[in-house]
Structure 1
């Protein structure tokens, strides 16, 4: 018992600095709320950068007000306003990559790192600053993240959103919109989306994950770089994830059927409503998949 308590003490000690880093040094909860009320206006560029790096630590905070309502919203606001240069964006990106690799006792840190990495990817899409090798490395991190999500919790009173699958889909959406990505890279996005569109575990989505997962697929289709045979093969692989219907009732199979139907229905709606001819050509293919063909 003493040895177990000693190890627990070491674990808590190791986690303490990360937990204590939010709010950032020199900031308080009330001050951060006032910053949000002021539209996240920070006149001093150096001060804004220091605060931004501090708020990266808040992405792992169990308090949704600090994590989602302030840290994420502030970082999103500043990046969409173009407030950071490429050198600083690399610092933010690398800090977020470190969070993907770090401990996540509350199950929120990695999911929100992925969500903010979607914003980092967006900055490169809007005004390119990454080298091709950096962009490829980010794609590798994004596909690895989404492909390995096993925490399917969405919204929970008190702690708010986790939503790891949806956040990973948002990250891949921004990459799929980037014209610098080539067809082979887009196929990798489709492959990992298929893994989570119909998770093998039989988790049934209830927090809109299917709608979010469809977005990168729809935008890849809009680009028109994949031919009909590519889409037929991908849809067939997606349907195959359902597996044969068991003779007796099976909750996991029924959950997979629910997820497959939800995903294909969302994709069909996108194709039906779109004015983009490349996306519209998916409509009969998706309809056939929905009908089990």
Structure 2
């Protein structure tokens, strides 16, 4: 299979693979094609980006079609300066698609690792560091962009953290910082989260709590700190912030009702909401 820089030919190639029921080239060609796809993972063509590139990469990774070394290279590419940190700090530009869809490659690799344990402690901690840095630095929190589809950097980052916290190499100190970073993302006063970002973040938080590495006092302090965010009580200036926080806490509360061992956390949230 000839790999070309022509985006239209790439799209036609992937459509052909899709129409053939996912029939794939051999491993060597598949890997080369996948790395070429990574060069266009931030396309503003939602069909190419979402329905073809991400969809097929997801299918191939989860079907165990890559070697551990190939998966590591795919991971490192996704986290490099040309992908996860591509034009980081921009807001309202198309660069967000490259960053946010590169984030989605990380949970795929982590899911694969849970089956065969090819990532080392150093690899996991590198993912942790890169995700923390990215989450702090990402300023574009748009969910859906008309004409270009999902940006969803907040939701995609939460998905990555949800899988990361399941690694045996993630310790209590890492979980505490992850919760703090997610709180920072929740406490946005710029844009109301309309596209179930609260659901995706809550899923990551529940996974972190399921690890049993955090004591109830630490979780309580984290929850109470939401209401201590600067300007939380100032209206109308903090209206967006207050709405994002309340939506998240309510979502987290209802998710915790399915976890009897976390009833204590749910009770804390209930008091906060009713208070």
Common topology (TM > 0.5)? yes
1:66-145 alignment runs, 5 A limit: 66-98=48-80, 99-103=83-87, 106=94, 107-145=96-134
Q: Does 1:228 align with 2:216?
A: yes
Q: 1:248-272 deviations in whole A, cap 9, x for unaligned?
A: x424x11111001110001000111
Q: How does 1:1-293 map to 2 (within 5 A)?
A: 21=5, 23=7, 27-98=9-80, 99-103=83-87, 106=94, 107-199=96-188, 201-241=189-229, 243-246=231-234, 249-251=235-237, 253-272=238-257, 274=258, 276-292=259-275
CA distance in 1, matches of 2:210, 2:173: 16
Q: CA RMSD in A?
A: 1.9
Q: Distance in 2 between matches of 1:102 and 1:136?
A: 21
1:220 Cα shift? 1.3
* Shift in CA distance, 69/245, structure 1 to aligned 2, threshold 3 Å: same
Q: Distance in 2 between matches of 1:126 and 1:191?
A: 29
- 1:198 and 1:242 in contact (8 A); partners too: no
- Structure 1's 148 and 34: CA in aligned 2 closer, same or farther, altered over 3 A? same
Using a 3 Å threshold, how does the CA distance of structure 1 residues 22 and 103 change in structure 2: closer, same or farther? farther
Cα deviation for residue 214 of structure 1 reads 0.8
Instruction: Kindly indicate whether the alpha-carbon contact (under 8 Å) linking 2:155 and 2:201 is maintained by their aligned counterparts in 1.
Output: yes
Q: CA 1:286/1:22 → structure 2, altered by over 3 Å: closer, same or farther? A: farther
Counterpart-to-counterpart distance in 2, 1:54 and 1:138: 22
Shift of 1:52: 0.8
List alignment gaps of at least 5 residues for structure 2: none
Q: Which of the pair has more CA radius of gyration?
A: 1
Q: Which has the higher helix share?
A: 1
Contact 1:114 1:168 in 2 (8 A): yes
Q: TM-score, normalized by length of structure 2?
A: 0.90
Q: Secondary structure at the match of 2:39?
A: helix
Q: What displacement does 1:178 show? A: 2.1
In structure 1, distance between residues paired with 2:54 and 2:6:
13
Give distance in 1, aligned partners of 2:115 and 2:162.
13
Q: How many residues align?
A: 265
Query: CA offsets per residue over residues 144-194 of structure 1, 9 Å max, x none?
Result: 212222111111222111011111111101101223321111112111111
Deviation sequence 1:198-220 (CA, Å, 0-9, x none): 12x34211111111111110111
Q: Which runs of 5+ in 1 are unaligned?
A: 1-19
- The superposition leaves residues 79-122 of structure 1 with CA deviations (integer Å, 9 ceiling, x where unpaired) of 11111111101111111112123347512100100111221222
